[in-house]
Each structure stands twice: as C-alpha cells, then as structure tokens.
Chains A and B, each alone.
Chain A
Amino acid sequence: METFKIEVNGKEILVKENETILNASIRQVGNIFVGCKGGACGMCKIKITTGETVDGIYSKSALPDEEYASGYRLACQSKPTTDMSILPIRERNKVLR
C-alpha cells in the first residue's frame, strides 16, 4: 500500500492510499479545520507549497478555478499523488462556549 508524507504547517502526517488529506489530518491531529467534508464550505482549504494531488468533486464557490490554479485545494476532496508540504488556511475547530 502506497503512503505519502505530508508536512502540514511543519508537522508530518502520513496519508494512506485513497485517503483524503483532511481524513489523514483528523487521524493524526494535523489541525486542518473540519467543515462539511463535502467540498462546499471551503473551511478545510490548504495551500500547496510542494507536491501534487488528485481531487474529487467540490463547489466552485468554495474553490474557484483561479485558486485551484494557484495551488489551493480543499483538504476534504484532495488526495496526494506525491509527498507534499502544505499550509492550512484555517486552523483546527474551536469550541465556542
């Protein structure tokens, strides 16, 4: 089984074959914000520093084509095809009160 290493904000996590970056982050406390997991809210957005992905279906309002072209992805729809280094746009979920 192929696994990829992803550096999320300096911390290394392992992504299993066919696993989304967001699910791998949830398993290993990668601290990427968990929103709808359906590609609609844009809360799990990441910026790629290095590496490549394949991506599922998502809402263009959450990730417009220009953003995709400049290296943004939705972690809930994105699977690595190489080792990567990424930065989350929004950090982990907080409890409000």
Chain B
Amino acid sequence: MAIMRLGRVEVRCPNWEKSIDYYKRVIGLIETAREEDRVYLKAWDEHDHHSVILKKADSAGLEHLAFKCEFASDLDLYEEKLNNIGIYTERVPAGVRIAEGEAVRFTLPTGQIVELYHKIEVVGNGLPLVNPDPWPDGLLGMHPTRLDHLLIAGEDVDGATKIFTDIFDFHVSEQLVAGEKNDQTIAKWLFKTNTAHDIAIIKGPQNKLHHFAFWLDEWVELRNAADIMAKNDVMIDAGPTRHGITRGTTIYFFDPSGNRNEVFCGGYITYPDSATITWTEDTIGKAVFYFERELNERFTTVVS
C-alpha cells in the first residue's frame, strides 16, 4: 500500500480564457477534456488522463490537490488511519470530474483540501510502449514532462507535516528553522517518491498556494523556458537560478490569473533512509536562491 505520487492539482483561474491559452500554449500542457467550468490538462510524458485541472472561478488559488495511490484498497486504509486520529474524511464519487474514479477527501491542518485516489483513465504519453522514440512530435511551449511538486502555505506546518510522515509515510528531506534553539519550523520539504520533494509546506496565511511546479529534464531547458516567458510577457518572479534546498534549478513565474508556477530541474534523489538536511534562518537567502543569496519580498509574501 502506498501513495505513489502527486497526481493532480485543481487551480482556480479568474482570468479564464487567457489562463487556458497560457497553460496549453506557453506551458505546453495537452488538453484532454473540457466542460463548462473546467479544463483538464496533462504534461506530455504523463500517462494518466490529467494532472492539472483549471477551474473557472471568482478567486485564484488551489481548489484541491490529490495523490495517486497504488491500490484501490489504499483508500479504505488511509481513510481508517485518518479517522483514527480524528480527521474527518468524505468520499468523492466517481464521475464528479471527468475520467476520475472515487476519491477520499480531507482537509489538512494548513487548510488545503487533499484527495486520495487510485482510479483514473489512462490515455498514454503519445509514444508506443514498444520501441518508443524519446519524445512525441508536436510539443508546444516549455512542454515539461510532468507535474512535479507543490508548495502550500498555512499556519500549522508541523501538524500538516505529521500527517504526511505518520499517516502517509512521507519523509522530510529538508527543513528551514528559526528561533534561538532552531526549534521553530518555517518550512518542511517532504518526499514519497525519490525526488527531493513531492510537497513542501511553509508557514504563512492559511489555505494558500505558494506555487506548483513542472519538471524539466535539463538545465538548458530552463533557458528556453525563460525565453518563452519573455516572449509571452509572463511575469517572472525569480530565476533562472538554483536552490540551496533540493539543489534544483528553477524559475518562478505567474499564470495570467496570478497563481505562481515553477519550472524545476535536477536536485538530488532520495531514499527512505535519507537524512534530513536543516537550514537555519540566517542562511535563508542561500537556502532558497543559492546564487543571489537573498530573497525578494515578493517570493515570501505573494500567495494565491
């Protein structure tokens, strides 16, 4: 039994038409379905029906995030574990959204809605499973291979972290701490796959999205991504640069509705026995933006 990966994010987009065009043409996601108030998208190398859902809404932000479980029975198991520690869960029936099976839904102490699911329609990555070429024709924009991770904000970072470590067997790859005894949590980076993080949680206003990130295979692709951003007048927040935390290379930028995106590349791999790395508050600049060694106020205060 296990969560396998971050499966999807559903993001609210007030600037509806522009946001659809941006995610398809500028980011380069592929549309797999559409209804009145939702557009379903996938990155090219993902096999499942969608990993990003755009939702037409009055306010920006994260509608929900979801993890894909290996077995259908994982839903019962996690539901029981969550209920045992007093976390209320409900079932989202199959068919509420296109191509999705049933899900278990609960709310994190940081306010975000999380779903756990196993079933989703598989559409493939555009390549054959026998003797495939490395990539399909017709890719647009930055064309990341996949959705990689997200950073959420809220008040009780330790409480949310405990759910991930104790219930879902995530591990903490890195943490940023403050206080004289370094005992106050600013942020935690958590993994379940063997990347440096699948989700990170930062202290901040409750139930907010800091960013969600797409994976690029190579550092040079970040330069191309930056070119595409400049060409399309995308608001760049920071980068291209490198993180001290995770060692990944990065650009942060905003979608037309003001939700922050990231393209992320590299970083180390992790194992369940990887030791946790700690950064103290006095090195926060280097920890987040390794080259600049300083943070901009926008990065720390802007959330959606």
Contacts and interface: CB of A to CB of B under 8 A. Distances in A.
Interface of A: 33-41, 43, 56-62, 93-97
Contacts of B200: none
B260 A36 contact: yes
Contacts of A56: 15
Contacts of B293: 97
A94 B296 CA distance: 6
A94 B297 contact: yes
A59 B297 contact: no
Given A38-B254, A38-B255, A40-B304, A59 B294 contact: no
Contact of A61 (B60, B284, B294, B301): B60
A35 B304 CA distance: 11
B258 A41 contact: yes
Contacts of A39: 14-15, 60, 257-258
Grouping DSSP codes into helix (H, G, I), strand (E, B) and loop, the B interface class, with mixed when no group exceeds half, is loop
B58 interface: yes
Given A95-B295, A97-B285, A38 B301 contact: no
Nearest to A63: B59
Interface string B287-304: 000000111111011111
Given A57-B15, A62-B60, A38 B257 contact: yes
Given A38-B60, A41-B304, A97-B284, A59 B298 contact: no
Size class of B's contact patch?
20 to 34
Contacts, number: 97
Interface in B1-42: 14-16, 18
B112 interface: no
Contacts of A95: 294-297
Contact of B294 (A38, A40, A62, A97): A97
Given A40-B259, A43-B302, 20 more contacts: A34-B298, A35-B258, A36-B235, A36-B237, A36-B254, A36-B302, A38-B257, A39-B258, A40-B61, A40-B254, A57-B16, A57-B18, A59-B14, A59-B59, A61-B58, A61-B61, A62-B59, A96-B285, A96-B300, A97-B285
B211 to A, nearest CB: 11
Given A96-B285, A96-B295, A97-B295, A38 B15 contact: yes
Contacts of B154: none
Nearest to A43: B302
A33 B61 CA distance: 20
A96 B296 contact: yes
B295 A60 contact: no
B244 interface: no
A18 B135 CA distance: 41
A25 B140 CA distance: 33
Nearest to A96: B295
B256 interface: yes
Interface string B50-83: 0000000011110000000000000000000000
